Structure 1
Amino acid sequence: MVYPQALLDALAQNPDALAFEHGSRRLTRGEVLDLIGRFVAGLRAAGVSQGDGVGLATGVTPEGWAALIAAQVLGCRAVGVRAGLPEEHLRAVVGDLAVVVTDSSFPGTSVESLLSAPFEEPVPCGRPEDIGWVVFTSGSTGLPKGVAYSFGALTAQGIEHRASESPADLADRYRRFLLFGTLTSAVMITHLRSCLLAGGTVVIPAELPDFPEILPRLDITAALTTVPRLYRILDVLRTSEVDLSGVRMLMVAGSPVAPGLMAEAFSRVGPGMQQAYGQTEAGKLAVLTPDDVAAFPSSLGSVGRPLAGVSISVRSSSGDAVPDGVSGEIFVRTPGQFSGYWANPSSTSSVLVDGWVRTQDIGHFDADGFLHLTGRTRDVVIVNAVIHYTGPIERALAEDPSVDQAYVVAVPDEATGERAEAFVVAAPGQAPDLAALRAVVAGFVGEVAASVKVIDEVPVAASGKPDKAALLG
């Protein structure tokens, strides 16, 4: 059985059940299956064939998702096209696509024209080794990279869960999943798929979600959040009563989460609160729940235990596995991990090592099997779940004639997850304008996430290299 056959089977199994709520619209599973079949016929009539790339530049709609699945039924490479991409990035994303499906003013083939075709029974024809989905990174350090999944990997992904979870648990969790933001998000699409496979309903709000009130108002049982949004949720819960007893999963991911914040979130949100650790290249890897912390108080501050089917290896710089309690670089292996970066073999070879995905995160396991993250091999600042590499910021600061050296480090921040704290050494005889330099940093990460300090000299590590960690000491 090749992807997306399991999804098609799940839709056909109970055709009268509700699949999507989109504002006031209601679509049954049978109606969604009909959409997919008409998109299959429409794409075929547009000249699309197996192995082609199909771009999806649509809003968050049932039609947008159905078009994605139809492209994969045809054995095509489905590619999400984010709105507002710079022209250079857009060329990199759509350059080799056969067609772009759109429901807006974006140039391409309209949803309406494709849906005018008669229904064709959707029969997946992708081969396990072919690429069926490409998710592009933000391109914060250059051109975006396409994280490519094979049909074999997509088939293996299924529903990400803990080994202890039963089908009934999953059905209860995904009874009503809140979908918002963008269909170019790997994590959103993954949970959407899990919801439909588990028999649930995908709920798309008519307007931007107002957390946390939207959860009880729309009877949401599963939703995703970023760290900054979680802070806003807690701000509300500190002063208002919001009934979250129906929430089975409110998952926070995308940025480091301070232990104190997670403790408060577990307390105020309740048993449905979860912290997840994952990567686009490998999917969801580990989860921490309130039950974990109740049973193992020292697990607070960890990212939880690995999910079913996930292998995690912590290794030294020489590539050897290290014992519990010793930090090293985290390597992961999952049945549904990516095949490589689309048309980028050099980046692929630096991350895929003997079948393992090099996360470039540093951490360790404790004696109870919980994974603790302690740093990154990458110099990045994650602001509002968006990765910003520090190198370009440092170079921009150093272009100021009053600056001799510039270093940028990530600092935890309640409002944004992390902020960029820049340290500059003044050029001889110069007095840097801190306001101007802060504006430079803000141009990368935003005003509220930028700060600049002047130092006399940068600390030096034993290796002779600048010791960024010591700047915060």
Structure 2
Amino acid sequence: MDTSAGAPGRRTPHGDAEPVPAPFPQALIDAFRAQPEPPAFEHRSRVVPRGEVLELIGRCADGLRAAGLGPGRSVAVATDVTPEGFAVLMAAYLLGCRVTGLRPGMTPAHLVYVLSDGIDALVADETGATPELLDAAGGVTVLRLGPDLLAAHPKATGELTAQGRSEDIAMVTLTSGSTGRPKGCTQTYRSLALNWAWQPARWTERTERLAAGYERYLLFGTLTSAVIFEHLGVCLLGGGTAVIPDPPLVFPQVFERHRITACLMTVPRLHHVLDVLRTDRVDTGSLRVLLVAGSPLAPHRLAEAARKLGPVVHQGYGQTETGMLSLLTPHDLAQWPDQVYDSVGRAWSGVELGVRDLEGRPVPTGATGEIWVRTDSAMAGYWKDEEQTREVLRAGWVRTRDIGHLDEHGFLRLTGRARDVVIVNAIVHYAGAIERALAAHPDVDQAYVVGAPDERTGEAAHAFLVPADGRAPDLDAVRALVAAELGEASVPATFTVVAEVPVAPSGKPDKRALLSRVAGPLGTV
């Protein structure tokens, strides 16, 4: 079964082909130029109007141009979340560069690996210019955002016209590198020009309804995150203001203090917010969009969030390789209250969703298989990794390597990851399915499953449970629940009750840290 919502190659109501949008990031430049007065950023105590951001972009572009950067040249960027950090990114894109964002916390070895791979210049601000980064730069030209770009160019002189060539690589988004070296997901200038978030001329009614909630968007984390960057585009092109508060951010109090209307957060952070709201009175009434993404959200937690926060909770599904793919909205929850809490919504604008079997053939509605997607804004491939690219990209489709099914209304339900499996006695068991069965027990708030080598069965599943409201789960009842739902063979070999789950730098549950506990205190490997 395949579903779509404004699929690639869309046509107007009159049957004409939709016009090709302006080159990236011209739509943002034109929008800011047309209305320069509204605030684009609220950075701590400083309000930065759109016109001032344009001036910052122009000054950064002049500095990058003076350093010999332009179409086809490459620049790595390491900055804090600031208007100036955003401006240098936009300037590099405006000039048509290939831009690689360096995540905070990258290891020295990963920095050397990335910076030695054809990078022409490195731009860093005071926060990003760590000794480790500067050592890793080697012979790469280093440009300081303050002195070398902004101070050296006190007034913008060049034209703000997008120069990116359609098929050139524009963005390289690095993965965590947890498997050895960070992979780079590449996007062309064409794919960014067609990305739903950055082209308001292509927005559908659903997109406009979402963007209307981004009046005051809480911006935190890193601008090198593809998902944060995407939703920043929704905010700015929808006329909103990106709010960057003083650190540290305290959730959910930050919503009340800064009158936040929209926020993107991971599932563990939502768990924290709900835990606080059980005991503290915090005014979250300003919220209009709370979009949760990054890992599966248990239905009972989604229901609790909707009760405590109101009709503002959205659940999104996407990947760095593709951008946002589906969205479950409060409207969906209200229309199908007993049917969709276990789904991640329907195909997002410009996205086709399909479910296929092991041979890549579409399966019937309701059947489980691997999720394949098609969207104009998908990656062009993994940087200098043709083997992985061939594995994931198939004739215009992207294999997500996630497992799930679509129902008759087009709602997508994820049941596991093709790569997140435990093979017990040569039988494949999906960790996601076991986790959902565990979390269905009323005394279990969160559940996570990892696989570890086992002398008897090849691998064994090990469960980590966060109890609900401090109640100690009846493990015999939990085992029985999994056995009834999935069969005796799916029952984990061990259960460990933890107060909280470790969180990776990405904000997602850190299963590698959980696996280390299996190899240590549990003594099962």
State the TM-score, normalized to the length of structure 2: 0.75
Offset of residue 412 of structure 1? 7.0
- The answer for the alignment partner of 1:114 in structure 2 is 149
Aligned length: 422
Contact map agreement 2:518 2:524 (CA 8 A) in 1: no
Alignment equivalent of 1:149, drawn from 187, 197, 206: 187
Aligned 8 A contact 1:195 1:201 in 2 = yes
Residue aligning to 1:57 = 78
Q: Name the CA shift for 1:88/1:164 in 2 (closer, same or farther; >3 Å).
A: same
Residue aligning to 2:66: 45
Aligned to 2:475: none
Report the counterpart of residue 312 of structure 1 in structure 2. Answer: 353
Distance 1:272 1:64 in 2: 30
Corresponding residue number in structure 2 for 1:13:
34
- Structure 2 residue matching 1:373: 3-state secondary structure: strand
Alpha-carbon displacement from aligned partner over 1:167-206 (angstroms, at most 9, x marks no partner):
4x34531111111111111111111111111111011111
Shift of 1:162: 8.6
| Contact 1:407–1:423 (8 Å) recurs in 2 | no
- Taking the aligned partners of 2:221 and 2:460, their CA distance within structure 1 comes to 30
Asked if the contact 1:170–1:198 (Cα under 8 Å) also holds between the matched residues in 2, the reply is no
Shift of residue 267, structure 1, vs aligned partner: 1.2
C-alpha deviation, 1:6, in angstroms: 0.4
Are residues 1:291 and 2:331 paired? yes
Q: CA deviation at 1:165?
A: 2.5
1:178 and 2:199 matched: no
Looking at structure 1, the residues matched to 272 and 42 of structure 2 have their Cα atoms a distance apart, in angstroms, of 26
- RMSD (CA atoms): 2.9
CA contact (8 A) 1:2 1:155 kept: yes
Aligned: 1:346 with 2:413 = no
Aligned partner of residue 291 in structure 2, secondary structure: strand
User: Residues 338-379 of structure 1: CA distance to partner in whole angstroms, max 9, x if unpaired?
Assistant: 111111111111100111010001100112221011111113
- Structure of greater relative contact order (alpha carbons < 8 Å, 6+ residues apart): 2
**1:114 aligned partner, one-letter code:** L
Query: What does residue 99 of structure 1 align with?
Result: 121
* Structure 1 position 446, deviation (Å): 3.3
Letter in 1 for 2:358: S
1:225 to 265, 268, 283: 265
1:201 to 209, 230, 241: 241
Partners of 1:271 and 1:369 in 2: CA distance: 21
TM-score, with length taken from structure 1: 0.83
Residues of 2 paired with 1:379 and 1:303: CA distance? 18
Query: In the aligned structure 1, how far is the partner of 2:78 from the partner of 2:207?
Result: 36
1:60-71 equivalent positions in 2, closer than 5 A: 60-71=81-92
Is 2:449–2:462's contact at 8 Å kept on the other side of the alignment? Answer: no
Percent identity of the aligned residues?
A: 45
Quickly say closer, same or farther: Cα 1:114–1:189, change in 2 above 3 A.
same
Residue 363 of structure 2: SS of its match in structure 1? coil
Runs of 5+ consecutive residues of structure 1 not aligned to the other structure: 416-420, 425-441, 457-473
Q: Tell me the distance in 1 between the aligned counterparts of 2:222 and 2:207.
A: 29
Q: Please say if 1:355 is aligned against 2:396.
A: yes
CA distance in 2, matches of 1:410, 1:224: 30
- Quick one: which of 364, 375, 392 aligns to 2:416? 375
* Contact preservation (8 Å) 2:76, 2:102: yes
The alpha carbon displacement at 1:159 in A equals 2.2
Aligned-pair CA distance for 1:323:
1.3
2:173 and 2:114 mapped to 1: Cα distance? 10
1:465 corresponds in structure 2 to none
Structure 1 equivalent of residue 162 of structure 2? 124
* SS of the residue 2:197 aligns to: coil
For 1:34, which of 33, 55, 66 is the aligned residue? Answer: 55
Q: Does residue 278 in structure 1 map to residue 330 in structure 2?
A: no
Q: Distance in 2 between matches of 1:443 and 1:284?
A: 22
Of 432, 446, 457 in structure 1, the residue corresponding to residue 513 of structure 2 is 446
* Letter of the structure 2 residue corresponding to residue 291 of structure 1: H
Of 107-116 and 226-235, deviating more is 107-116
CA contact (8 A) 1:379 1:389 kept: no
Over residues 205-236 of structure 1, what are the superposed CA-to-partner deviations in whole Å (9 max), with x where a residue is unaligned? 11132111111211111111111111110011
Give, in whole Å, the separation in 1 of the partners of 2:105 and 2:234: 28
Residue identity opposite 1:263 in structure 2: A
Partner of 2:4: none
Ranges in structure 2 where 5+ consecutive residues have no aligned partner: 1-21, 135-141, 422-430, 436-447, 468-490, 495-508
Task: Give the alignment of 1:376-391 within 5 angstroms.
Answer: 376-379=417-420
- The amino acid of 1:133's aligned partner reads M
Instruction: Give the match's secondary structure for 1:302.
Output: coil
Range with greater deviation from structure 2 (106-115 or 14-23):
106-115
1:12-71 residue CA offsets vs partner (Å, 9 max, x unmatched): 111111011110111110000000001111011112121111111111111111101111
Q: CA deviation at 1:291?
A: 2.7
Residue of structure 1 aligned with 2:459, choices 402, 407, 411: 407
Q: Distance in 2 between matches of 1:410 and 1:184?
A: 33
Match for 1:128: what amino acid? S
Which shifted more, 355-364 or 156-165?
156-165
Q: Is the 8 A contact 1:39 1:70 kept in 2?
A: yes
What CA distance in whole angstroms lies between the structure 1 residues aligned with 2:319 and 2:121?
Answer: 28
Task: Measure, in 1, the Cα distance between the counterparts of 2:357 and 2:41.
Answer: 47
Preserved contact between residue 71 and residue 165 of structure 2 (Cα < 8 Å): no
Letter in 1 for 2:365: D
Q: Distance in 1 between matches of 2:218 and 2:295?
A: 20
> Cα distance, 1:10 vs. partner?
1.3
Is contact 1:244–1:270 with CA below 8 Å preserved after alignment? no
Instruction: Choose the corresponding residue for 2:364, options 301, 312, 323.
Output: 323
